[in-house]
Chains A and B, each alone.
With several copies, the nearest count.
Chain A
Amino acid sequence: MSTRQLFAYVLQLADNALILGQRNAEWCGHGPVLEQDIAITNISLDLIGQARYLYQYAATLYNGFSVEEQHAVNALLPRPWKAFNRELQEDDLGMLREERQFLNLLITELPKGDWAQTTLRQFFFSAFQYLQYTQLQNSTDEQLAAIAEKSLKEVAYHLRWSSEWVIRLGDGTEESNRRITAALEELWMFTGEMFAPVAFETQAAQEGYGVDVASLKESWLNRVTTVFEEATLSIPKSTWAQSGGKEGKHTEHLGYLLTEMQYLQRTYPNAVW
């Protein structure tokens, strides 16, 4: 098994969860109504919790690597950590890698926008993550399978919650329909990336520890279609897809997010908090 690919694969799952969790947390204290402030914050907590499991696993993997294996993933390691002279830890991975080392999907890093953008993005992502993690339960990698299983209950809730909001806003007022339609126009071109495997995903699927994301597209479209019907929304015709996130080519938004998120770790390298 190619450990380099596995390391990247785990990081990618972790980055998705962390970046979307960080975005959703921006709502905390600013939600449209108290109960929903709590709900979106819960999703944020779940996602950051998943990210922690995954980063911890990636760190464990790395610390157990042979010298050659460690060398092979050098490009993904946080530079400041190299001077710390200690084992790799979860926060090194989440809080000290550079923008070009983050492998998250572009859709997770887009600004939170209004409630329509936030809930529709969550729906697109959760519908994908639900399918991905369902299959990941069968991973040949026990750790990944266990993390997927543990997370699935949470993801199922995110999917239900976000589906309900898409329906509510689509089939709500004229304004809410207008806003979610605008959000759809904004977000649609970022959904294709989920199903376009990059090298380490292809390898992961072939070796049985990862998921063949291309194969999830149909089920995902079915789910979206069902929810959209109830929401009186139509699936856009355009099939052009933005890509690059899983290879570290991001939108201009991610830099600002990381700047803020990593501020203290960068200012006080290797401090204990």
Chain B
Amino acid sequence: MSVQELEKIFQDKIDNEIRIEPKDWMPEKYRQNLIRQISQHAHSEIVGMLPEGNWISRAPSLKRKLILIAKVQDEAGHGLYLYSAAETLGISRDEMTEQLLSGKAKYSSIFNYPTLTWADMGAIGWLVDGAAIMNQVPLCRTSYGPYSRAMIRVCKEESFHQRQGFETLLVLSRGNEEQRAMVQDAIDRWWWPSLMMFGPHDSESQHSEQSMKWKIKRFSNDELRQRFVDMIAEQVKLLGMTLPDPDLKWNEEHKHYDFGTINWEEFWNVVSGNGPCNKQRLEARNKAWSEGAWVREAAVAHAEKRAARKKQVAA
């Protein structure tokens, strides 16, 4: 079959909402695009463990400590599913890890902001996971089978996290004066970076058009961002808090919330490595990886010894 014919079969499947599976033929660019996107997503889960991990030792109650640890652990689990999905496309987890550690691969820029108070644990669940879900729900129907199946599991847990995050803030918002101030402060710091999580405006987005055609992506950045704003602008009222945007207001004509201008200079600065924690995050991952090298080597060496002994016994 010619490449053109293969491409036709491939695109027909996609158009008919039939999932592409690892053994199916696929265009190289589709493969590359997916590897980039899935591994970036996996890296985000792994790096995303760090800002929240920063409060594990200081969680305010044993119950909250358990919830937080379990949540960060879930993120490790998500990383695992996603690395596995990416591996079906012919790249190894070690290769992906190297790309992360060397700074070649990206991860979500939101994790380059510091977590300064306990309320940040709530704000991350509510806003950051909220924005992530908005991006991710459509991916449950993405065209590549392993990715879509991984995303179904991820999304289920993420929406649980989002509810937990909101509940954390709700408790604080009913607490003492300092706790309430903590909530407002956390919202003030995380709101704009959360909006940036949807990526640049559609007009500036690099990969969008082709991704739409391949159904890797199903909604544009700006569409998803608008949905998110509409959702949060309502939920924030339940907390008795405000969003740090004087331009935010309901537009009766469009049935959406209008909102202010995003500081794209900050966005690009953080993407390009100048965020408050870029260095710190990568250093933490590099440290874990390099200090774990001898452990991984020992595990391999021992497994080999065992296998050799077994063979000997069998012989």
Contacts and interface: CB of A to CB of B under 8 A. Distances in A.
Max chain B C-beta neighbours (<10 A), residue from A114, A168, A250, A251: A168
Interface residues of A, number: 63
Given A176-B297, A265-B60, A252 B274 contact: no
Contacts of A259: 58
A251 B51 CA distance: 11
B29 interface: no
Given A52-B63, A189-B274, A240-B269, A176 B295 contact: yes
A29 B49 contact: yes
Given A28-B72, A30-B287, A264 B171 contact: no
A37 B63 CA distance: 21
A117 to B, nearest CB: 12
A91 B292 contact: no
A179 B294 contact: yes
A41 to B, nearest CB: 5
A261 B58 CA distance: 5
Contacts of A260: 57-58
Nearest to A273: B60
A273 B171 contact: yes
A79 B59 CA distance: 20
Contacts of A250: 114, 116
B53 A28 contact: yes
Contacts of A115: 292, 295
Contacts of B61: 91, 95, 265, 273
Contacts of A28: 49, 53, 56, 69, 72-73
Nearest to B294: A175
Given A176-B298, A273-B171, A31 B66 contact: no
B288 A29 contact: yes
Interface stretch (A43-51, A198-206, A218-226): A43-51
Interface in B258-281: 269, 274, 276-277, 279-280
A18 B117 CA distance: 21
Interface of A: 18, 22, 25-26, 28-38, 41-42, 44-45, 48-49, 51-52, 55, 79, 90-91, 94-95, 98-100, 114-115, 167-169, 171-173, 175-176, 179, 186, 189, 240, 242, 244, 249-252, 255, 259-261, 263-265, 268, 271-273
27 contacts: A28-B56, A29-B49, A30-B287, A32-B293, A33-B295, A33-B296, A34-B79, A34-B83, A48-B69, A79-B178, A90-B62, A99-B117, A115-B292, A167-B302, A172-B299, A186-B279, A240-B269, A251-B276, A252-B51, A255-B58, A260-B57, A260-B58, A263-B58, A264-B59, A265-B60, A272-B174, A272-B175
Given A32-B296, A91-B63, A172-B298, 12 more contacts: A25-B56, A28-B53, A29-B50, A33-B295, A36-B295, A38-B80, A48-B66, A168-B302, A176-B298, A251-B114, A273-B61, A273-B172
**CB-based closest 9 A-B pairs:** A32-B292, A172-B298, A176-B298, A29-B49, A29-B53, A264-B60, A32-B295, A273-B60, A172-B302
Interface of B: 46, 49-51, 53-54, 56-66, 69-70, 72-73, 76-77, 79-80, 83, 114-118, 171-172, 174-176, 178-179, 185, 189, 269, 274, 276-277, 279-280, 284, 287-288, 291-299, 301-302, 305
